[in-house]
Structure 1
Amino acid sequence: MGEQLVITRDDARAVVTTRGATLREFSVAGVGYTETFPEDATPPLGSGSVLVPWPNRVAGARWRSGELEVTEPARGNAIHGLVRHEEWTVVEHTASSVRLEVAVGERPGWPYPFRTAITYALDERGLRVTHDVVNTGTETMPFGVGTHPYPRPGKADADTCVLKLAATTHLPLDPERMVPVNGQEPIDPALAEGAELRTLRLDDAFGGCVPDADGVVRHWLRGDDGGVLVWAEPVFGWVQVFTPPEFPGADGRAVAVEPMTCPPDALNSGVDLIEIGPGDTWTGTWGISPC
């Protein structure tokens, strides 16, 4: 898993690995607010992964620029971008923050060289994560950004908690290939208003995320004994929610709440793809806070 990079602030602690710039741990006062895994293990179920230059899946690993490497053989898709298995370079490491970056050249089906960086920083609210993407090529580059945390509600039993999403739409997926089959539909009101996690079995994409009055998108998992907030800038207008049957080492249920700038298969649909010109930089931020 590469080098383990520890950052702390007061009683908050996070651990990031150089392999994939993966978030392995975030805790406050010894209480975990993300699921974790052993430092010598491969991140289970994409835990803590950085998803650039596309989150989620590209159907059939094909899009207008050619055929990508098939990285989800069982379904024939390209999944979760190009950087989550790369060894990232540490640019800066202070007591409370760490910044890593990786350069990606042209790849099969991906003719756009780019550089991406990520900064994990602890502040008074919790963990703040900032992504930068730089187009190092000569053509305008389309892309998306996502991340794959498994937030946990502190000391609360996740099954007793309520999940509330800021999304307004649901994107139906083919259950076999896990790629979109139709346009968006209204979200189940229970998820918009808050649904008990124990009732949910999801591997679904949701869009139309609405920010609060202060311009921040918020997704909540809360119970009587604690809770966790996944927040994001409005550019993260999508969220994938995944409730796996089990998560290795987890105490009870685990749930992934994955901020994304675009939906699954956006390289083909074009929905909410970001475009940056040669030499330009894009920046976006999200985070996790106890609540």
Structure 2
Amino acid sequence: MRRASIDRIGITGNGFRAEVLSLGAYVADLTYEGKPLLLRNDGKQSATRAGMALLAPFANRVRNGEYSFNGAKYKLPVNSEGHAIHGFVKNKEWKVLEKGDEFVKMELNSKGEPGYPFELSFSVSYEASKRGFNVEMAAVNAGGTNAPITMGAHPYFVHPTPRSQWFINAGNVFRLEMVGNIPTGRMVPQRLSTYIGEYDDCYRVNEDQVRLIFPHDWEIAIKLNGFHFIQLFTPSWANAVAVEPMTGAPDAFNNGIGLTVLEPGKSLRASFTITPRPKGMEL
């Protein structure tokens, strides 16, 4: 995971401590008042198996790594499943634009990736604010043609109690029916207010907040702005749950669910805030 050339950037303030790596603008560790909030990456895990990776220009999967756009067909690199997954920005070296004790802003310029010949300028800001740990993502079309895009993040939340005792509340949602982790196009209305089970599911959220409620006296609120989907995933290798904000659904490059088509010079922006707080406290 780590190599000598990767910079480690510390953020400290308002009870938070974070370690951000220049590779992928990746949050390898995040704590609040000494409590781990994310599954710490000790350098042995890949970016999407701990910590918080950024996902772009596509979040989650593109079926068979294939899609058509503006009359042309494209082929992306695929994983062992045979799908393209989670974009490529997580594997790129990001540049620090601004840095303070409580924040960092980073950027990445991308052009001509395999299967994605579009030119984009990405940025992310992390801030340990009084309201929570804030993540702001943006992509600007720096090229001369329209570009398809979805964005997301992949945080793994942790707590010392067994995750079967954790409770999630996202209110009324639409669950995307999936076959082989690819949406069929059908959405099923339901209320996502339940103890954590075994998940690898995507939901279209109607509210702007997801709450993870732990035993005893505290919870984590994830306040969403511009992220209209979440992927829930419970890993087999850790007592954790990934709650992944996404601007579009899995395979959006083919099914169009939540897909953004950026015109030249236009931008896509979205943000979320992770707020630990006493149970039941309102933001």
2:200 aligned with 1:203? yes
Alpha-carbon deviation of 1:169?
0.6
The 3 A distance-change label for structure 1 pair 278 and 267 is same
Q: Which residue of 1 aligns with 2:127?
A: 121
Alpha-carbon deviation of 1:256?
0.1
The 3 A distance-change label for structure 1 pair 148 and 114 is same
The 3 A distance-change label for structure 1 pair 182 and 42 is closer
The 3 A distance-change label for structure 1 pair 6 and 166 is farther
Contact 2:39–2:50 (CA under 8 A) maintained in structure 1 = no
**What CA distance in whole angstroms lies between the structure 1 residues aligned with 2:56 and 2:201?**
19
**What CA distance in whole angstroms lies between the structure 1 residues aligned with 2:16 and 2:164?**
25
**What CA distance in whole angstroms lies between the structure 2 residues aligned with 1:272 and 1:204?**
16
Tell me the SS of whatever aligns to 1:117: strand
Alpha-carbon deviation of 1:96?
0.4
Tell me the SS of whatever aligns to 1:91: strand
**What do the CA deviations read for 1:62-115 (whole angstroms, capped 9, x no partner)?**
00043333231x221110012111111111111000111111102232121111
Q: Which residue of 2 aligns with 1:250?
A: none
2:12 aligned with 1:8? yes
**What CA distance in whole angstroms lies between the structure 2 residues aligned with 1:80 and 1:231?**
22
TM-score, length basis structure 1: 0.87
Which 5+ residue runs of structure 1 have no aligned equivalent?
Answer: 212-216, 248-252
Alpha-carbon deviation of 1:39?
4.3
Contact 2:28–2:50 (CA under 8 A) maintained in structure 1 = no
Matches within 5 A, 1:1-291: 1=2, 2-39=6-43, 41-43=45-47, 45=49, 47-65=51-69, 66-72=73-79, 74-153=80-159, 156-166=161-171, 168-175=173-180, 178-187=181-190, 189=191, 192=192, 194-197=193-196, 200-207=197-204, 209-211=205-207, 217-225=208-216, 226-233=218-225, 235-247=226-238, 253-291=239-277
**What do the CA deviations read for 1:117-149 (whole angstroms, capped 9, x no partner)?**
100001012200001111110012221111000
**What do the CA deviations read for 1:251-283 (whole angstroms, capped 9, x no partner)?**
xx2100000011000001112212222122222
RMSD over aligned Cα, in angstroms? 1.7
Tell me the SS of whatever aligns to 1:142: strand
The 3 A distance-change label for structure 1 pair 84 and 44 is closer
Q: Which residue of 2 aligns with 1:214?
A: none
Alpha-carbon deviation of 1:287?
1.8
Q: Which amino acid aligns with 1:172?
A: E
Alpha-carbon deviation of 1:10?
3.5
Alpha-carbon deviation of 1:11?
2.5
Alpha-carbon deviation of 1:45?
1.9
**What CA distance in whole angstroms lies between the structure 1 residues aligned with 2:120 and 2:258?**
19
**What CA distance in whole angstroms lies between the structure 1 residues aligned with 2:50 and 2:15?**
27
TM-score, length basis structure 2: 0.89
Aligned residues: 269
